[in-house]
Structure 1
Amino acid sequence: MQCDYFDAGRCRSCALMGVPYAVQLADKDDRCRRTLTTVAPDVSWLEPFPSVESAFRNKAKLVVGGDTGAVTVGILDAEARGVDLRGCGLYEPPLQRLIPRLAGVVDEIGLEPYDVAARRGELKHLIVTLSPTGEVMLRLVLRSRRHLALLESRLVALQARLPEVSVVTVNLQPEHKAVLEGDTEIVLTDRNDLAMPFGDITLFLRPNSFFQTNTAVAAGLYRQAQDWTRAIEPAMVLDLYCGVGGFALHCAQAGALVVLGVEVSLEAVRSAETSASRLRLDHPDVGRMEFRAGDATDVGTLDRGLLGSERSMVVVNPPRRGIGPDLAAWLEGSGATHVTYSSCNVDSLARDLAMLPSYRAREARLFDMFPQTSHHEVIVLLERETHSASTQSRSAARQP
């Protein structure tokens, strides 16, 4: 991938720019394998799942700078001045076409960009998410409600200029600190979610819901978990850090009889419930699905009795810090026969696997969500040793 912004020194976010993509992928795969060698010496590594090397991002998180009527959209430099990156080649083509038009609409409306150095102004960020359908969710992160009436009055004109934008919200982030968004979300449109179809499954994203930024690779990640679920045939799946339900719904479609998802974000839980309702309408034979708002690391609220069946699986997809010792200890005593662990940090993954001595890593695979950077996503299938031994014994007994 070639980038004029990188070549000119205006943006260095893509630290691997200029490294051939095949080398990037091989290096990430090698790093993940080496890091897990001690804790998972017998794991079978599947071929890494690649991405296209450019035009892969479904989400743009744009810092707004410059002046009213002449904004920049991109990042800030070392002096907190706006650096315009509206032609960035990382975004999917519809976003690449939308972002310059969006910057023009912001100029026309007269929204005042936030000046970090002077601590004045209103518009801090534009967060833009693209669906495979071509529809877009636009979130404007403001310092206060000062521009809210103006935006409400210009909403019809905004959508006329940007017809692909079906969901528009205002997020309030009043504090002067490096935080992308605040807790208050005001939906301006009739629609409050964005449909993200993945084959037979459609996820519905609400404004505060987390979703992977690489749609094609996320689809591959969910399919991998789904394939493992079909092979295991668990009666019960407990999906911790379930987000909007990506893993949970794919496990339900793969034949799990009962799926329970736990997620700290209430908005994400509501998104997952909407997606589950849609899946049941289209496929009434799928298993029972339930989603609860709660902290996955609060093991006191988790009932081990949920996993009392012969075959049960726990799915974990934690933040970079990993699951930690308390949840690892809970998993050790849970009785779950299998764990599917999706991680964006192979170092914390290795630490967590060391705290799960009852499980053996069977298969692992790298998914390259973030080309041009060293970031990675790796998914591992774990099987409880006692379950593995009993399965092998039953298999041997059936031999003639």
Structure 2
Amino acid sequence: MQCDYYDAGACRSCTLMGVPEDVQVADAQERVEALLPTVPTWLTPATGPASRFRNRAKMVVAGTAEAPTLGILDAAGRGVDLVRCGLYPASITDALEPLRAFVTRAALVPYDVPARRGELKHVHVTTNDAGELMVRFVLRSTESLPRIRKHLPWLLEQVPSIRVVSANLLPQHAALLEGDVEVPLTPAERLPVQQGGVTLLARPQGFLQTNTDVAGQLYTQVAAWVDDLDDDERRDGGAAALRVWDLYCGAGGFALHVAAGAASTGTGDREVVGVETSEQAVAAARDAAATAGLAGTTVVHADATAWAREQPEAAAPDVVVVNPPRRGLGEQLCAWLDAAPPRTRHLLYSSCNPASLATDLEALPGWEPVRGRLFAMFPQTTHAEVLVQLRRR
């Protein structure tokens, strides 16, 4: 990927810029195999485009209302403009100049980090494959909302692909991307995003994998492995309805693919439960399940660890799918999995941090890895997504 910002020394966020894609993938595979030596078999890595692959831009706003920058901050806290960044598709980059003009038009004062004053901290833009957009203004207070509402028709006229707009309130002087309060500014509050074989309904505060292509391959892989396990369980005289838990389910990517796989293969009696702490993500997953007609899918708003430990043995799943945050599963959930009821014999672990995955596998002595696959979700960086299948010893 060619990047003028990198060549000019303006941005170093892409630490592997200039390294050929095949070398990046090979090096990542070598690193994860070294971290996870107990995984006996590795499938061919899943890859996608090396540029224009990110469906979400989280742009720091700096400068002044008359001359705002959208991008990142340098070491001194000054804005570095990155409106033509090659990580984002044209649907996003084409919208950034009108958004910059909107900041000026609505007199939105960018937040000055060193001075700790100002109102507008970030602009987040999410796109789908149709080029439709969701835009979020991250503000320190409601002071700017009347002006945003007044000038919003102008923005929607300039960028007709915008479907969802909201304001997020982040009053703290802290290095955070968003706050807890979301103020809808358009009638629509969700953006349909096709990832794999399922349409997810992205909401402003819901989690969405940023690499649509590779995320689709990840979800499809999990669904295929669950289909294999379903076949095995039926041959071995297991329960007629395979029961699957998707812990940390986000907007429902894994749960919906697993449920959709049951519908397409004729095993429509599969029971799928997703568990997630984000209310926005739970609402999105429920909406997507209803829209797709997946009546057997339940999404619960709860902490994954606490919820799993509270369930009676009779409700135990055959398969557990986990996709935890970077910190991993933690001691309590690992302990529950290692002592799970006999019915629970399969675990699919998707991780964006192979190091914490390695730590968790050491805390799961009752489970043995079967196979794994690297997903090149984050080109130009050393980050990697890894999926590992495990079975009870």
TM-score bracket, normalised by the shorter chain, equals over 0.9
CA contact (8 A) 1:239 1:247 kept: yes
Corresponding residue for residue 279 of structure 1: 292
Paired amino acid for 1:300: R
Alignment of 1:114-125 (within 5 A): 114-125=111-122
Separation in 1, partners of 2:143, 2:169: 10
CA contact (8 A) 1:214 1:370 kept: yes
The SS at the match of 1:254 is: helix
Identity of aligned residues (%): 47
Separation in 1, partners of 2:325, 2:202: 19
Q: 1:364 aligns with which of 372, 380, 384?
A: 372
Deviations 1:9-32 (A, max 9, x none): 111101111111111110001101
Consecutive unaligned residues of structure 1, counting only runs of 5 or more, are 281-285, 386-400
Q: 2:65 aligns with which of 60, 63, 68?
A: 68
Corresponding residue for residue 307 of structure 1: 316
Deviation at 1:95, TM superposition (A): 1.2
Separation in 1, partners of 2:130, 2:84: 22
Alignment of 1:1-400 (within 5 A): 1-37=1-37, 39-40=38-39, 43-198=40-195, 200-233=197-230, 235-255=242-262, 257-280=270-293, 286=294, 288-298=296-306, 299-307=308-316, 312-334=318-340, 335=342, 336-385=344-393
Corresponding residue for residue 236 of structure 2: none
Separation in 1, partners of 2:324, 2:313: 19
CA contact (8 A) 1:317 1:342 kept: yes
Separation in 2, partners of 1:65, 1:147: 16
CA contact (8 A) 1:257 1:287 kept: no
RMSD over aligned CA atoms reads 1.4
Deviations 1:84-128 (A, max 9, x none): 111111111211222222212222222111111111111110011
Separation in 2, partners of 1:287, 1:328: 30
Deviations 1:134-179 (A, max 9, x none): 2110000011111101111112111111111110000000111101
CA contact (8 A) 2:196 2:220 kept: no
Deviation at 1:200, TM superposition (A): 4.5
Deviation at 1:340, TM superposition (A): 0.6
Separation in 1, partners of 2:204, 2:314: 34
The SS at the match of 2:216 is: helix
Separation in 1, partners of 2:148, 2:258: 41
Deviation at 1:329, TM superposition (A): 1.3
Consecutive unaligned residues of structure 2, counting only runs of 5 or more, are 234-241, 263-268
Report the TM-score, using the length of structure 2 for normalisation. 0.92
CA contact (8 A) 2:98 2:155 kept: no
Report the TM-score, using the length of structure 1 for normalisation. 0.91
CA contact (8 A) 2:196 2:217 kept: no
Deviation at 1:270, TM superposition (A): 0.7
Separation in 1, partners of 2:158, 2:314: 54
CA contact (8 A) 2:369 2:389 kept: yes
Paired amino acid for 1:2: Q
